[in-house]
Amino acid sequence: MRITPRVFYAIAVLALAALACQAVMGGGEPVEPRSSTTGGKVILQDDFSSTRWGTGTDSDSAVEYVDGALNFIVFERDYFVWSTPDNETYEDIHMETTVINNGTDSTTAFGLICHKTAGNDFHYLVMTPAGQYAIALAREGERDLFLTNNDEWADSDLIAVNADSYRVGADCGNGRLTLYVDGQQIASVTDSTYTRGRVAVMVWSGEDAGITTNVSFDDFVMTELP
């Protein structure tokens, strides 16, 4: 089942963004940067055993720590939710996180946000358990622009369908955005609309989701790009 580009729900996301800011104010201690195995300096690393990330629950969604991971449950269809680790701005970064598929609907999209401004403008890189993906530009109050596949969701044979978990990665920097899944490059585009900002993990429930959206994030790491 395909899900199509839709208007960004700024109000819905703003509600969670406020919760996230409150949660991280008293969050976990910063992780000391150290060299990564890929050569880039580790800027932020979290196994979600601390309470660094924003949490909150309402009638539309629940973002809470469950079983040593950050769990997202979304009760509304076509609903966009994120959580941030801090209020810092970053540029020229690589991020990775493990996304655990808790039997979620195959039209659910999940992934990473970068270059988030003080408003609701940012880039995001996402995939679905159905094997689809998108790299997109979000502007507050406007329809999101997919920078891949002529502004449409794309299919990739490199993404395992309905896997138990995925290792999702993103490069955001040097004027380029690149999506990785399980260590394989899925797509790469050039766009310099935004070049620095906050980061987040995100979930987007499908427009035709027939069951509850339920995914968890674990083992997040962010490093400097070369």
Identify the structural domains of the chain with CATH numbers, from first to last.
10-224 (2.60.120.560)
Is residue 30 pLDDT above 90, yes or no? no
- Give 102's contacts (C-beta < 8 A, 6+ positions apart): 71, 214, 215, 216
Q: Which two tokens stand for residue 44?
A: 């932020």
Q: What CA–CA distance (Å, rounded) separates 77 from 86?
A: 27
Q: Are 111 and 127 in contact (CB under 8 A)?
A: yes
The closest of 166, 168, 159, 153 to 201, measured between CA atoms, is 168
Which comes out higher in pLDDT, residue 209 or 102?
A: 102
Q: What pLDDT does 210 receive?
A: 56
pLDDT confidence tier of residue 39, bands split at 50, 70 and 90? low
Q: Are 136 and 200 in contact (CB under 8 A)?
A: no
Is residue 28 pLDDT above 50, yes or no? no
Q: Output the CA–CA distances (angstroms, integers) from residue 117 to 86, 92, 114, 191, 200, in the order listed.
A: 13, 15, 9, 15, 12
Q: What CA–CA distance (Å, rounded) separates 123 from 112?
A: 9
Count of CB atoms situated within 10 Å of the CB of 122: 25
Q: Which two tokens stand for residue 221?
A: 């790491």
Is residue 26 pLDDT above 50, yes or no? no
* Measured CA angle at 183 (ends 182, 188), to 5 deg: 105
* Low-confidence winner among 32-36, 58-62, 70-74, 192-196 (lowest mean pLDDT): 32-36
pLDDT confidence tier of residue 9, bands split at 50, 70 and 90? very low
Is residue 164 pLDDT above 60, yes or no? yes
**148, amino acid identity:** T
Q: Which two tokens stand for residue 157?
A: 């044979």
Output DSSP code: residue 143: B
Percent of the chain surpassing pLDDT 90: 71
Q: Are 219 and 87 in contact (CB under 8 A)?
A: no
Is residue 152 pLDDT above 90, yes or no? yes
Q: What CA–CA distance (Å, rounded) separates 132 from 187?
A: 11
Q: What pLDDT does 24 receive?
A: 26
Q: What pLDDT does 224 receive?
A: 98
For 62, phi and psi rounded to 5 degrees? -135, 125
pLDDT confidence tier of residue 207, bands split at 50, 70 and 90? confident
Question: Per-residue pLDDT averaged across 137-141, rounded?
Answer: 93
Q: Note the pLDDT tens digit of each residue in 167-206.
A: 999 999 999 999 999 999 999 999 999 999 999 999 999 8
Is residue 44 pLDDT above 50, yes or no? yes
Q: What is the CA radius of gyration of the chain?
A: 16
Q: What pLDDT does 209 receive?
A: 60
